[in-house]
Amino acid sequence: MSHNNNAYDLLRLLLALFVLFSHAYFLTNTGLDPLATFSKGQVYFAEIGVLGFFALSGYLITSSIENMPNAFRFLYKRFLRLFPGYWVCLIVTGFIIAPAIYYFNNHTINGFSFTGSNSSVTFFLKNAFLAINQWSVGNVLDHSVYKESLNGSLWTLYSEALCYVMTLVLSFFGLLNKNKSVFILLFLFVYVVYAVNLYNAPQFGPTFLTLNAARKLYIAYMCGMGLYIFRDKIVIDKKGQLFILLLSVALLKFGGFLLLAPILIAVLCILGFANFKVSLKYDISYGMYIYAFPIQQLVITEWGNSLGFWGSILTCILLTSVLGFLSYVLVEKPFLKLKNVKFKAVG
């Protein structure tokens, strides 16, 4: 099974739009998004988007480490892909978007917390290494419908980085090639922990799995890994993919979707898009993902009433697409060019 990176660029863009669309509902207190309504609250479009991101990441990162066994180079490339765009996003969010929201609410910039406690500076410093320790800046969200976070999408990037480390560890012990049977055992164990802790019940299993809200993301990532590891053995044609899609719709409608969601989403995303012949010149998906939430906070706070729900969504898509483009052209692409810098072998 071959993969088409350009087609997966399109998939990532669609998944980012899923997240933006879903967030619009709770950022405006409009209620459940259509998928959540259809599934009786089982899952939101945003969850589909994030699970799809992690499944695809598991597939592509496993491919990457197989073709690049040097641990230092692997981590170096992952750093270039993740951190520069993320750091610039923190700066833009804390020093441009947050003051803009404050100005629209107070008609002055006087009193905005650029420095000091809970300020723009601490928003960058406390969040610089992916773990989100400061969710907003000062009191900029006091007039917002959703006051909990200025950029509520960034928390998943820490889990993404942990998945990179997990991939490196599994590769070191040969679980991605020579010891594939051990990978199956590990996957089954983690999936069982996920399944038995899915619904409200006493928690069973290792604490770091049962208490972590991101465990479904790790499962989706491992599903993507498995699809790559066993790519020559897992063959699902278009009829099989259609059946999985119909099964997913049935589980969404009648219940039980979350139990199989990581597997179903991984199969539909990775196999479903594998043979698409699509060419995207600019991969703006990462930029859209990390900028959508604060842009939505800004647009909804200032123009939400005048634009209406759908007008706000369209405006946010437009502005976020522009920021995603600028992020790719001015930040991500220049740093990604550094990935081919030659280093002496390490380890």
Confidence at residue 346, expressed as pLDDT on a 0 to 100 scale: 45
Query: CA 241, CA 222: separation in Å to the nearest integer?
Result: 20
Between the two ends of the chain, the Cα-to-Cα distance in Å is 31
Token digits of residue 274: 């594998």
Query: CA 289, CA 113: separation in Å to the nearest integer?
Result: 26
Give the pLDDT confidence of 154-165 residue by residue, as tens digits. Answer: 999 999 999 999
Query: What DSSP assignment string belongs to 233-294?
Result: T----HHHHHHHHHHHHHHHHHS-HHHHHHHHHHIIIIITTTT-----S---HHHHHHHHHH
183, amino acid identity: F
Residue 334: half-sphere exposure toward Cβ, Cα within 13 Å: 8
27 within 8 A of 145, measured Cβ to Cβ: yes
Query: CA 218, CA 205: separation in Å to the nearest integer?
Result: 15
Q: What is the dihedral of CA 234, 239, 245, 249, to 10 degrees?
A: -140
Confidence at residue 280, expressed as pLDDT on a 0 to 100 scale: 81
Confidence at residue 347, expressed as pLDDT on a 0 to 100 scale: 42
Query: CA 199, CA 232: separation in Å to the nearest integer?
Result: 34
- Spatial CA neighbour of 271 closest among 121, 55, 81: 55
pLDDT per position in the chain (347 positions), as tens? 545 566 798 999 999 999 999 999 989 999 899 999 999 999 999 999 999 999 999 999 999 998 776 888 999 999 999 999 999 999 999 999 999 999 999 999 999 999 999 999 999 999 999 999 999 999 999 999 999 999 999 999 999 999 999 999 999 999 999 999 999 999 999 999 999 888 766 777 787 777 677 899 999 999 999 999 999 999 999 999 999 999 999 999 999 999 999 999 999 999 998 877 777 889 999 999 999 999 999 999 889 888 999 999 999 999 999 999 999 999 999 999 998 776 555 44
Give the pLDDT confidence of 304-317 residue by residue, as tens digits. Answer: 888 999 999 999 99
Domain ranges for the chain: 5-99+156-295+310-340
Query: CA 97, CA 297: separation in Å to the nearest integer?
Result: 9
Confidence at residue 67, expressed as pLDDT on a 0 to 100 scale: 74
Confidence at residue 344, expressed as pLDDT on a 0 to 100 scale: 58
pTM, entire model: 0.94
* Other Cβ atoms closer than 10 A to 245: 14
Query: CA 216, CA 53: separation in Å to the nearest integer?
Result: 12
Query: CA 135, CA 141: separation in Å to the nearest integer?
Result: 10
* Other Cβ atoms closer than 10 A to 323: 21
309 within 8 A of 28, measured Cβ to Cβ: yes
Confidence at residue 173, expressed as pLDDT on a 0 to 100 scale: 94
